[in-house]
Structure 1
């Protein structure tokens, strides 16, 4: 299948931006960047997004083949180790996406430790790994962002737990409330992963129901004139590539590149938290990751299930 002519230059631009970001943030983790200045807000430990920064570094290392890039990715992944013992279901986001593209044994060992730690947190009575207390608030909560990454992380150690975790969240229509742009996207991504890693053909219909008909959705369906969320679109595109719906995925990625990708490789118009008014039109590190990974699949740098 031919590669769209815009995909390779777009990927190169996004991964060039990774090098610039790395120089700016040093040993901290980028979270979101101002759309005008390009300056990053960072965290010390990575929060729930640290795995996406590590994943971007691994994509750049794969793209350049440079030893310095590989070392930077290795060091970043190693700094995620403290999250193994954290009480949070976002360990799927952190420790799957932070290790899946890595090609060193340390990352593989970290991923295995994380999988077993998450399995230990599985509540058989509830049929899920609870949201957890690591970020404050009630522990026994089911959220859509507790599912992506967790399915492929758990699948090698306990397929039944991985399936139960996903199905319970699908049945509960996991929070935040319906209308949140990334809620649908996260669940679609997790469902696509389940169809690959688990024997669950009945979820094909679920995947179809979760697919958004828009190229780039608003951050909140209840505010259609409000900010968009390009990160949700990028997540959806990757999920569609996994599902074999390449034509639709390409249409989304082309829209992101044509309309929302800046000249310096930043995916703009991502919405971090509309309710709190935080970073509502910004570059988001996970938006960059999913755009880069989608482009990597289109260009042959990665396979759709490499993460």
Structure 2
């Protein structure tokens, strides 16, 4: 099965779901104005918003760029470009989530023939993140922009930052590889993977309690980052492919739940549709990589898994108004445990865009 050549039946359900999502994006844009959506109440649909976007602002900009790509409407493009520029305040902030914010907020817009201001912003962001790279730790620290210890390694500090750094300079590529492999070394040293570690010295790390092992998005974020690492950096010693295989066995195996629980220790508790959507995109990327090496069977398997996840999300969890519900922001704190999450909408939209051929796996 060629991932960019779906059957008419597959395209039709994905097209319908995308149309519903674009309607929701337009309603959201009218509702939030110059603010950024974070999560929405499952009953009223009303959004909790932030002034600067927090760590999720790039996903809202990315959604707006996807809508503009789909519609071809210059007005939609202008809205997306304006939103992207409102992310500029994050360039100098001390946080590894600048990868999430400034890669996904600029990737569709930047490049030849694209939005020049977005391209400049991405390059500025890459320089800022590279300046924050600590060669003794071997990574860009989590940072203190959101409070708490600065010298953390967290799984959600890897995706986005890998391609952002890798596209900067040769030094950026080296920093991206080190950042990715150090996180994999730490997170995959326990079973289930532990998403957060704290540096005690430049060579000693200790487990950090939040998020706890079993967090729904640990494997999802790492899968996404490994796929990008394999594409942008290569894999000279085979370590990234080994990590990808381990993570895929955890979450992309045929017997794995399509929609993971928000916390593995609570299998009957809230689920996390946003983690599933991330995993679907990661599976699509890994499928493309498998085909590039001639492994059509593995490519087909991973594509089929991505389709199953996306079909389940659209048939069971997508509301009549185009909102991806049943995402879980923070199960431990009881925060937004069955809500629409802006990054869940983004990754669902991106997954559907891959099915319909609107985008390709490594455009973002």
**TM superposition score normalised by structure 2:** 0.83
1:134 matched to 2:169? The reply is no
2:50 matched to which residue of 1? Answer: 43
Q: 2:218 aligns with which of 174, 183, 190?
A: 183
When structure 1 is superposed on structure 2, of 4-13 and 225-234 the one drifting more is 4-13
- Cα shift at 1:123: 0.2
Q: 2:186 aligns with which of 172, 188, 200?
A: 172
In structure 2, distance between residues paired with 1:193 and 1:293: 15
- SS of the residue corresponding to residue 243 of structure 1 reads helix
- Structure 1: 5+ residue stretches without partners: none
- Cα shift at 1:111: 0.3
- Cα shift at 1:85: 0.2
1:248 matched to which residue of 2? Answer: 305
2:260 matched to which residue of 1? Answer: 217
2:244 matched to which residue of 1? Answer: 207
In structure 1, distance between residues paired with 2:281 and 2:313: 13
- Cα shift at 1:206: 1.2
2:6 matched to which residue of 1? Answer: 2
1:83 matched to 2:83? The reply is no
- Cα shift at 1:208: 2.1
- Cα shift at 1:11: 0.8
In structure 2, distance between residues paired with 1:218 and 1:208: 21
- Cα shift at 1:15: 1.3
1:198 matched to which residue of 2? Answer: 233
1:126-167 deviation digits (Å, cap 9, x = unpaired): 000000010001100111100010000000221110010011
- Cα shift at 1:257: 0.5
1:252-299 deviation digits (Å, cap 9, x = unpaired): 000100110011100000000111111000000000000000000100
Structure having the higher Rg: 2
RMSD: 0.8
- Cα shift at 1:16: 1.3
Within 5 A, what are the aligned runs for 1:14-33? 14-33=21-40
Q: 1:11 aligns with which of 18, 43, 55?
A: 18
2:65 matched to which residue of 1? Answer: 58
1:143 matched to 2:154? The reply is yes
- SS of the residue corresponding to residue 216 of structure 1 reads coil
> After the TM superposition, which segments of 4 or more aligned residues of structure 1 sit over 4 Å from their partners?
none
In structure 1, distance between residues paired with 2:315 and 2:134: 45
Aligned pairs, number = 307
In structure 2, distance between residues paired with 1:101 and 1:230: 24
1:123 matched to which residue of 2? Answer: 134
1:159-215 deviation digits (Å, cap 9, x = unpaired): 110010011111111322320000110011000100100111432221121121221
In structure 2, distance between residues paired with 1:170 and 1:178: 14
In structure 2, distance between residues paired with 1:194 and 1:137: 28
In structure 1, distance between residues paired with 2:234 and 2:284: 19
- Cα shift at 1:67: 1.1
- Structure 2: 5+ residue stretches without partners: 188-194, 197-210, 288-301
1:238 matched to which residue of 2? Answer: 281
**TM superposition score normalised by structure 1:** 0.99
